[in-house]
Structure 1
Amino acid sequence: MDISPFRTVGPCVPRTPVVIAVGHAGRSYPRALVAAARVPVDRLIGLEDRHADLLAAAAVDEGATVIVADMARAWIDLNRHPDELDGEMIDPPPPAVGLRDGPRIRAGLGLVPRRMAGVGDIWQGPIAAADLAGRIAGVHEPYHRAVADALDEAHAAHGVAVLIDLHSMPPLAGRDRGITVVVGDLNGASADPAVTTGAIDAARAAGYRVARNRPYAGGYGVDRHGRPRQGVHAVQIELCRSLYLDATFRLPGPGLVRAQQFVAALRRRLAHALPRHDQQAAE
């Protein structure tokens, strides 16, 4: 592969219990992707959490450990289970009995995105099964292994670990209009309530309007890594792109510094949201 799929920024052993992962901000498009796409790469930018990696900059300055995906989401979606796949786009098709179904897949946003609103089908033809296996083995699994390793290091050092799975979202409409931050904990399954409440309080303290689990309760990242009973907690944080991008949603905007300060403050707050397990045992 001509592109490194992800990178780890900051100390290998996290200085606090908190690890940040940014899985949808990748801006690297392999030559094979460009050749297989039926639309220009410029149209595929719409799949990105555009410049969401910049949101962690102030936290990095404070010593955060951050795992950042550089590979474009169009190549493989790191917030999907490997079985969240539209089998019809794979050649030969995998057994349907082993695949998951759901609204994201039916909308064309499975493990490998198939279509985009306003764009239509992304690919010229089906993806070879061997190619897909290579993407999983070369990008998806190593990325999540790096996240898991960082959380294990945090837990070993601090007695507890918290993942901030950092994303961005388009402006919400309907009953969610005006919400600019969504905190997802899989409806309580991926994090202790104290972690979720701490994230909500941090967003409100920053002056943002926040919702819990609506419309984003969390994806594969928090599902895979959140193990509250073992002292590893995970929340998915969605920031509206209007908070930190310009009016085109393509370039950093005037709100970026404020959003970066929020992410740094969120990390500080969640570092103290839960007592260490050894402290709990002593009590």
Structure 2
Amino acid sequence: MAEPQPFSRIGPVLLTSPVVLSVPHAGRDYPADLAAMLRIPMQAAESLEDRHADLLARQAAASGGVAGLVARVPRLWIDLNRAEQEIDPEMTDPPLRGTALIASAKVRGGLGLVPRRLHPHGDIWCHKLSVDAVAARIRTVHRPYHEALAQLLAQARMRFGVAVLIDLHSMPPIRQAAGQPTARVVIGDRFGRSAAARITARAVAEARVAGLPVAINTPYAGAHMLDRHGDPRRGIHAIQLEIDRSLYLAPGLREPGEGLPRIAGFVAALAAGLAEEVTGWRDAAAAE
């Protein structure tokens, strides 16, 4: 039996926009034998998903002609928004050792490259993983995804002179202090490192036009995806887009809801707005 593809490409073959979409956490192609490997129930494992965020991207690509990648392999198997070195050394047998490993806060919290623990359920896996098994997940899923995304961004930059990555995620509803506005959208730009200020400002403006309360970098500033692909000095900008999943999922947050068309429309409008923003830069530079 052929191995499932780790991701799908969406949108036109010939790029018509400098904006590229990435959906790294919505994969639902769970291996058939996965349940036997888990200490936790499968439904608990699904809580790691950005549930149905891929539908938002697919509709935006269909209506706005934006290309992108959608992960099919679940985050539980390997997290595409972590660096290859963000591995908990104690979850493999034998334990991984070496100065190259990154002991990030996410790793310490159990959510490294391969998630180890899930609150409030505890350890995810019945047994420690072999080093070869982790290496295979990196080789067959993580590297191909990032290589394909880098190629898409390079193509966009070559064609349009600039490229913008929207790394699309969903988040649980944020609980704010009494009397404070509740953000329904969070724009992350690694505190200005992964995108020009004008990109972030335009993203915020598009959220406000859509009537969505928005925050910047709090509580989500982005992670490996932005660090790896965002390079404003080379004309490649990257933002993380977190959307309150209650806006587009039905009550229970497992199935698509009535709000999905509206939020997909917002994603499409955001992509169009960012394309307009950076195309304006190019045209202004050409006129000088």
Same-fold status (TM-score > 0.5): yes
- Show CA shifts across 1:63-103 (max 9, x none): 11020000010000000011111110012222142211232
Q: Is the Cα contact below 8 Å between 1:7 and 1:68 reproduced in 2?
A: yes
Q: Is the Cα contact below 8 Å between 1:114 and 1:122 reproduced in 2?
A: yes
Matches of 1:260 and 1:3, distance apart in 2: 26
Question: CA, structure 1 residues 103+177, in 2 after alignment: closer, same or farther (shift >3 Å)?
Answer: farther
SS of alignment partner, residue 277 of structure 2? coil
- Structure 1 segments, 4+ long, off by >6 Å, are none
- The within-5 A match list for 1:182-193 is 182-193=186-197
Matches of 1:205 and 1:229, distance apart in 2: 29
**Partner AA of 1:247 in structure 2:** P
Q: Cα RMSD between the aligned structures?
A: 1.6
Aligned-residue offset at 1:228: 0.2
Is 1:280 the equivalent of 2:285? yes
Q: Name the residue aligned to 2:134.
A: 132
Q: Name the residue aligned to 1:163.
A: 165
Which 5+ residue runs of structure 1 have no aligned equivalent?
A: none
Aligned counterpart in structure 1 of residue 107 of structure 2, from 105, 108, 115: 105
Q: Name the residue aligned to 2:227.
A: 223
Which 5+ residue runs of structure 2 have no aligned equivalent?
A: none
Aligned counterpart in structure 2 of residue 85 of structure 1, from 77, 84, 87: 87
Aligned counterpart in structure 2 of residue 235 of structure 1, from 236, 239, 244: 239
Q: Name the residue aligned to 2:11.
A: 10
Question: CA, structure 1 residues 143+213, in 2 after alignment: closer, same or farther (shift >3 Å)?
Answer: same
Task: State the aligned residue count.
Answer: 283
Matches of 2:43 and 2:145, distance apart in 1: 25
Aligned-residue offset at 1:2: 3.0
Q: Name the residue aligned to 2:49.
A: 48
- Show CA shifts across 1:220-251 (max 9, x none): 11111101000000000000011111110101
Matches of 2:35 and 2:244, distance apart in 1: 28
TM-score normalised per structure 1 = 0.95
**Partner AA of 1:100 in structure 2:** I
Question: CA, structure 1 residues 277+230, in 2 after alignment: closer, same or farther (shift >3 Å)?
Answer: farther
Aligned counterpart in structure 2 of residue 75 of structure 1, from 70, 74, 77: 77
Aligned-residue offset at 1:35: 2.9
SS of alignment partner, residue 245 of structure 1? coil
Matches of 2:20 and 2:36, distance apart in 1: 35
Matches of 1:2 and 1:30, distance apart in 2: 10
Question: CA, structure 1 residues 278+203, in 2 after alignment: closer, same or farther (shift >3 Å)?
Answer: closer
**Partner AA of 1:161 in structure 2:** A
Aligned-residue offset at 1:282: 5.3
Q: Is the Cα contact below 8 Å between 1:231 and 1:277 reproduced in 2?
A: no
Instruction: Answer with 251-260 or 229-238: which moved more.
Output: 251-260
Q: Name the residue aligned to 1:122.
A: 124
**Partner AA of 2:65 in structure 1:** G
**Partner AA of 1:220 in structure 2:** H
Is 1:199 the equivalent of 2:203? yes
Matches of 2:166 and 2:237, distance apart in 1: 9
Instruction: Answer with 18-27 or 106-115: which moved more.
Output: 106-115
Give identity over the alignment, percent: 49
Matches of 2:152 and 2:206, distance apart in 1: 23
Aligned-residue offset at 1:277: 4.8
